[in-house]
Amino acid sequence: MSSESTYRRVASKLTFSYEDWTYRKLLVYTIAFTLVIIFLFPLVVAIVTSFKTRTAVTGTLPFVPVFPWQDGFTLAQWGQAFDVLQGGLVNSFLRAIPATTITAVLGSLTAYAITQIDWRGQIAVLLLLVSATFFPTQAAIVPLARFWTVYVPLEDHLGILWGLPLLEPYHGDLIALIISDIAYGIPVVTVLFRGYYQTINQELVEAAKIDGANIFRIYQRIILPISVPMFAVVFIFHFTQVWNSFLFPLIIMSGSGHPAAPATLVLGGLGQSLEGINYGLRMAGALLTALPTVVVFILAGDKFAKGITGGGTA
Amino acid sequence: MVKKMGTEKGAKNKQIGHNQVWIRKLTKNDFVKSLPFWLLPVSLVGLFIYGAIIWNFIISLTDLSGFGRASFDSLDFDMYVRALSDSQLLFATQNTFVLLVAFTVLCLILGLALAILLDQDIRSRGKLRTIYLLPFSLAFIVTGQVWLWIYNYNYGVVNTLTGAIGLPPIEIIGNPDHILAAVIIALAWQFTGYTMVVYLAGLRAIPDEHFEAARVAGAKKYRIYWRVIIPQLKASMASAAVILMVFALKTFDFLFAMFGQYRPQVGADILATKMVREAFQKLEWAYGAAIAVILFALALGIISPYIYYQYRVNQL
């Protein structure tokens, strides 16, 4: 094979792939960025609308922004939304942080027991947990609501607690909500941790067993340290789930007026007045409610995606 | 059983041997030692999920409504008979199926298209994936409000755009023929990114050699996807479809947010909204519980074949 023919072959290949590159790439990039616009458009509309006065909301096109130096710009909608929602946002954090943390710890422990310890019936427990990840919550909300309101009203049962500083009787419903969140979070979080624990290197665990470490020590010394990335995935994924959830607060707290209502529940009753719906206020409120999850998502979207696909190698 | 084993010596010995193994296992205590790890979480799940579902079924057999406690003296299927003759419920069931099928198919197709797009050699793939997935990270109570504004008759985006190309404004929210389609589009916007991520995980599991082999054989790219890649995504498609369908069954938040009340606009009522409304607005607990049982049965019909299959192929 002469060097000239090699050269020609390489050259033809290069020019061909170059042409291929421009045509295909152009198409792919055009589609990809058109889709970016489509996916972000509803949110852009919401942001633009949230900075408009009520007259500007009806007087300008919904996706055309009004800038601070123009007529019709206002921060009042955000201010009002913040006034209405600040208590709800605090409640949402009070709800989501303990619920997420406890669920993550319990899920990790359960997954450890299912994957690293041999015991009878673990397949049955696993099946119960996997199935429970799919159940529609509607199938359980009537008993759940009645359990917390009629049979176990925590407000009455935890009377001692309300004497403590910062705790009020209405926090009983918040605790009921957190316990429910934990119970309904355990299946999916356990499945996530289980997927991760199935992939870990067994040599370390075996070595520790030979050294005589018991199962508690193995969890504490080996499993827990290597679970850190999975804890991050679970925190991010489950925090978002709990923060966004609406049905549980609705049935346990029954209305947006409840002093322990999380932001999603408060948002449900925002912006409706006698003069019709104030869309600027509603958009500001919706964005404010979404803000913590959006920040989490932008900072750690890859972990959120891993939570969706079952973790695997976190 | 005991008598039988007495006559069959071999079986009895085997049983004793088995018992000894079992006792040894107990003294090794792996089951007992494992209890502290899973007993509390599994009890919570048992009480609040399985216990609640069973209790829900029992409530559906009573005629509990209003305030006060249920009487369990006479249990019957009256609520289910009532459901069969409730035209609103039949309409909601029909809507549920339309939503379930259209939403799932739409997400599966669009999600696949997005996944293949991001499977191309394209820069900032990670950022694009994050953007496509962003809607899925938002609460339905948030997106419901946003889409309500987009669909607004007088000032919303959709009618602004139709006006720009010279069409008359479309009544979306108030029109029973349009509202369900509008809800499906909005939900697909939110779930396409999710479906894409499930497909992308499946794509990553396919070895590059499959693609290379087909390319060396001279196959066109779209043919490679159609013939080689997409058939290998069946498992991803099945798991995404199950999640999407179960979601379609239970979606309530979005509709509540969109309409700001328990009762969606005419034409958008589905079983999930009907169930919550009967129980928590009208305080018809038993009837709401009966609708919940129907929903649960539908969900079981979707998930049990899937879980059984996963269990059989050891993919659980």
CA distance B16 to chain A (A): 18
Q: Are residues B82 and B205 in the same domain?
A: yes
SS3 content of chain A, % helix, strand, coil (to 5): 75, 0, 25
**Residue B179 within a domain:** yes
Q: Are residues B267 and B180 in the same domain?
A: yes
User: In whole angstroms, what is the distance from residue B78 CA to residue B85 CA?
Assistant: 11
pLDDT at residue B5, as a whole number:
42
The CATH number of the domain holding residue B110 is 1.10.3720.10
**Residue B43 within a domain:** yes
Q: Are residues B267 and B297 in the same domain?
A: yes
What mean pLDDT do residues B77-106 have? 92
Q: Are residues B148 and B174 in the same domain?
A: yes
Q: Are residues B12 and B83 in the same domain?
A: no
pLDDT at residue A313, as a whole number:
40
Cβ of B299 within 8 Å of Cβ of A308? The answer is no
Q: Does the beta carbon of B238 lie under 8 angstroms from any beta carbon of chain A?
A: no
Phi-psi region at B258: left, alpha or beta (left = phi > 0; alpha = psi -120 to 50): alpha
**CA triple A44-A45-A50, angle to 5 deg:** 100
Cα–Cα distances in angstroms (integers) from residue A135 to residues A71, A129, B193, B308, in the given order: 51, 10, 22, 15
Q: Are residues B186 and B305 in the same domain?
A: yes
Q: Are residues B127 and B234 in the same domain?
A: yes
**Measured between alpha carbons, how far apart are the two ends of chain A, in Å?**
49
| Domain termination site, one of B61, B91, B112 | B61
pLDDT at residue B28, as a whole number:
61
Place of tokens 């489950």: A238
Per-residue pLDDT 10s for chain A (314 aa) are 445 566 655 555 555 455 556 777 888 888 999 999 999 999 999 999 999 888 888 888 888 888 888 888 888 889 988 998 999 999 999 999 999 999 999 999 999 999 888 887 888 899 999 999 999 999 999 999 989 888 888 777 777 777 777 777 788 889 999 999 999 999 999 999 998 898 888 888 888 888 888 888 889 888 999 899 899 989 998 999 999 999 999 999 877 778 889 998 888 777 565 456 788 888 999 999 999 999 999 888 888 888 887 644 43
User: In whole angstroms, what is the distance from residue A215 CA to residue B121 CA?
Assistant: 46
Cβ of A119 within 8 Å of Cβ of B30? The answer is yes
| Domain termination site, one of B61, B89, B108 | B61
Give me the residue from A35, A141, A264 closest to B132, CB to CB: A35
Give me the residue from B44, B53, B260 closest to A140, CB to CB: B53
**Residue B273 within a domain:** yes
**Residue B71 within a domain:** no
Q: Are residues B40 and B82 in the same domain?
A: no
Q: Are residues B112 and B216 in the same domain?
A: yes
**Residue B116 within a domain:** yes
Place of tokens 């939503």: B99
Q: Ranked by mean pLDDT, which of A4-18, B37-51, B62-76 comes out on top? A: B37-51
Give me the residue from B141, B160, B189 closest to A246, CB to CB: B141
Which residues in chain B (84-113) have CB-CB distances under 8 A to chain A?
A: none
Q: Are residues B36 and B139 in the same domain?
A: no
pLDDT in tens, B278-288: 999 889 999 99
Cβ of B131 within 8 Å of Cβ of A243? The answer is no
pLDDT at residue B7, as a whole number:
45
Which residues in chain B (24-63) have CB-CB distances under 8 A to chain A?
A: 30-31, 33-34, 36-38, 40-42, 44-53, 55-56, 59
Query: Is ipTM over 0.95?
Result: no
Q: Are residues B20 and B86 in the same domain?
A: no
pLDDT in tens, B87-98: 899 999 999 999
User: In whole angstroms, what is the distance from residue B313 CA to residue B301 CA?
Assistant: 19
Reply yes or no on whether the pLDDT at B49 is more than 70: yes
Instruction: Decide which of B303 and B12 is more confident.
Output: B303
**Residue B189 within a domain:** yes
Per the CB < 8 A criterion, the answer to whether B248 and B96 are in contact is yes
Contacts of B130 in chain A (CB under 8 A): 297-298, 301-302
What mean pLDDT do residues B169-183 have? 88
**Residue B69 within a domain:** no
Exposure class string for B118-135: b at 16+ Cβ within 10 A, else e = bbeeeeeeeebbbbbbbb
Query: How many domains does chain B contain in total?
Result: 2
CA distance A143 to chain B (A): 6
pLDDT at residue B2, as a whole number:
42
Residues found in chain B:
316
CA distance B285 to chain A (A): 7
Q: Are residues B44 and B190 in the same domain?
A: no
Residue range(s) defining the domain that contains residue B38:
2-61
**Residue B197 within a domain:** yes
